[in-house]
Amino acid sequence: VAAVLSFTCIPISTKVVSADAPAAPPGRPDAGVFDLKAISRLLLRPGVLPVFLIKVVSGFPSGLFMVMFSIISMDFFQLDAAEAGYLTSFFGVLQMVIQGVVIGRLSSYFSEGALLRAGVLVFVVVGLAMALMSNVFHFCLLMPGLVFSLCALNVVTDSMLTKAVPASDTGTMLGLCASVQPLTRTLGPTVGGLLYRSFGVPIFGHVQFATNVLVLLVLWRLPLPQKTDKVW
């Protein structure tokens, strides 16, 4: 099904290349699949590195929590396998609704910078609530805020980063954006396991609160786009 959809529904080009775009210098070798020079060149473009670091740093604490969620749901929330599955399904449905409807509507009225700041601010509030929660009902109450922040952070930063690079580098930038989640899944089990064993579930809220407070302070000093554009 995925192969059929990709062949029939995905266009060959999703970003228009202007006629006056600079051509590649003659004799220049083609970039490889993993080109550190190309990655460094993109990250050093104006406005790219700060947004990329915000994407990584702001979402890492919640990523740690989600990596450890299966253990937390059974050990801390005392849920059986079926109940943990229901909670995960609720999380997935909520993510589809918020990312597909809420973020799209908000992007019509607010700029990317405003949505990014709002997402980080909600991260701060959710982190504080997560440090105080004691049962699964409390987690269900704060889950919409957590999902909104995750969706806003991912959608807005991906949009800002792809707009900051030429059309020919869009694929490389999307690859860099997609590498953030595997990075969290690689480091998450070790870091999250040590934190959970030493300090318990509240530590994830404390880390998320402290990290995103710092990110929010940085965001207020960064010149972010103020034009109201749809982010996707």
Q: Per-residue pLDDT averaged across 205-221, rounded?
A: 91
Domain limits, the chain: 44-221
Give the C-alpha separation, 127 to 75, whole Å: 20
Mean pLDDT over 27-55 rounds to 75
Global pTM? 0.78
Pick the CATH number of 44-221 from 3.60.110.10, 3.40.50.970, 1.20.1250.20, 3.40.190.10: 1.20.1250.20
What CA–CA distance (Å, rounded) separates 22 from 126? Answer: 46
Under the banding of pLDDT at 50, 70 and 90, the label for residue 224 is low
Tokens of 37: 């020079």
The tens digit of pLDDT for each residue in 174-184 reads 888 888 888 88
Whole-number Å distance between alpha carbons of 105 and 230: 9
Q: What is the mean pLDDT of residues 39-54?
A: 85
